[in-house]
Structure 1
């Protein structure tokens, strides 16, 4: 099984242009929220929790992140809970509002991603490896941590394997 450094370095290899990386800080959260909202129907409330297909996907993703790294996994789990909460709120709206906002957010998120990849001059990572879809949100969190001077050892490993940013 791949390590955290393996996943991040493989994903980072498709993301060396700073404009592309910056676009991911906007596009990926929009996409994660939209997917959480779209998968929040059908759902049911049980003991104060909204259970839906989004819950199952978030649980699987959260376990994946925790397996890779405990601290990043906890941060990702918290972010997934926030996305689920927001998605559940939107899913309880009338169908036209739910679909309009969720699909619109999804499309805008992907447009931002593709603009970033235009600057990069490379296709998105998930085209070659579908796990890029789950690694993308983790990449954003890792890049934020690296920018804050956290996990320098991991940052050096990822940059060493993926190459310098430009």
Structure 2
């Protein structure tokens, strides 16, 4: 299995334009919450405990993140728990409102992603590797850490391998 650095470098190669990265700070959290909301209905009884598909996906994702890095994995797990809590708050909404919220967040989140990739001039990373769907949220969290001055060594390794983040002009259509 790839290391944390391997995953982040591969993902970063598709994300070197500051505007694209900025759209990911909006779009990816929207998509994560949307998927969590949509997978949080219905709950199934497992030995007297209500379990949702959202909980299963969050637990498997948390295991993936924890295996890559304990500290980042713990932070990602906390964020996933927060997403589950937000999803739980939507459970009492009428079905039409719940579905509109989940689908709306999902669609708008992906619009942000595709606008960013238009600016980048590259297709999204998940097109070439489905793991990009799991690495995206981790990328946003690490980029936030870098902006706060954390993880300088990891940031330098990624920059060396993927190239510097740049301010850019619109490039050719998604290639």
More displaced stretch, 85-94 vs 104-113: 85-94
Local SS of the residue matching 1:16: coil
Distance (whole Å) between structure 1 residues aligned to residue 116 and residue 45 of structure 2: 38
Q: How does 1:4-153 map to 2 (within 5 A)?
A: 4-43=4-43, 51-153=51-153
Structure whose CA Rg is larger? 2
Please, what TM-score do these two structures have when normalized by structure 1?
Answer: 0.95
Corresponding pairs, count: 165
Runs ≥4 residues deviating over 3 A: none
Cα RMSD for the two superposed structures: 1.5
Please, what TM-score do these two structures have when normalized by structure 2?
Answer: 0.91
Distance (whole Å) between structure 2 residues aligned to residue 66 and residue 147 of structure 1: 22
Local SS of the residue matching 2:150: coil
Q: Taking structure 1 as reference, are residues 144 and 45 closer, same or farther at Cα in structure 2, changes over 3 Å only?
A: farther
Distance (whole Å) between structure 1 residues aligned to residue 78 and residue 50 of structure 2: 16
Distance (whole Å) between structure 1 residues aligned to residue 125 and residue 56 of structure 2: 24
Unaligned stretches of 5+ residues in structure 2: 167-175
Question: Which residue in 1 is equivalent to 2:169?
Answer: none
Distance (whole Å) between structure 1 residues aligned to residue 87 and residue 24 of structure 2: 20
Distance (whole Å) between structure 2 residues aligned to residue 88 and residue 135 of structure 1: 24
